[in-house]
Amino acid sequence: MTKPKAASDFEQMKVEQVPTAQVLPYAGNPRRNEAAVAKVAASLLEFGWRQPIVVDEAFVVIAGHTRLMAAISLGMETVPVHVAAGLSAVKARAYRLADNRTAEEADWDSVLLALEITALKADDYDLMLTGFNEHELEAILGEAFEEPGHDHWEGMPEFTKDDVSPFRSFLMHFKDQADVDAFTALVGQTITDKTKFLWYPKAEIGHVADKRYGSSEA
């Protein structure tokens, strides 16, 4: 391991704006970040560029693949880059791995995270721009707020319901009508112009004949 340099030995990091098409993703990048592109794009729109893309002297990305993909998705014509001049090919390869791997060592302090999210919520800030999805935010805010006593429920009648079967809905996309027909045939159901729904396991809604989503016998 080489001896760390003193702060005075470092030159100010140079960042330049270059055409987006000039920056090349590294073909061997083992990190798959496609799911994060939309979140990073939203972050760029909200906060602007606060971290450049690091590239080698051939403008191949060393660190910042997701930022590049986000910029492309937004149609940005230029992006800020820092050229890691003088970095050997071996060190560039190692840095790509280290940049991603070291980020995985971070963890959240649940109490402090809840306080930060709560403060943003109090300021009516769009919490989705923090990168957390709605289910994560519900869990975080659940830690921040403990429900008060349940005195207001006193005297309320018990809720009873005979049908306790679970229900979840899923939105599905198909390439064409042929794929829709193949799927409905597979599950033994039909989709009508009125409903556009399937039930699985096969079921039907009573009382109104038009709402019998299910069986091909309906």
Helix (H, G, I), strand (E, B) or coil at 83: strand
DSSP string of 85-136, one letter each residue: TT--HHHHHHHHHHHHHHHTT----HHHHHHHHHHHHHTT--GGGGT--HHH
Which CATH topology does 13-103 take? Answer: 3.90.1530
pLDDT in tens, 68-78: 999 999 999 99
Lowest model confidence (mean pLDDT) among 32-36, 67-71, 72-76, 87-91: 32-36
Domain residue limits, the chain: 13-103, 110-144, 169-218
Look up the pTM and report it.
Answer: 0.59
Residue type, 115: L
pLDDT at 194 over 80: no
> CA torsion angle for 105, 111, 116, 119 (degrees, to 10)?
170
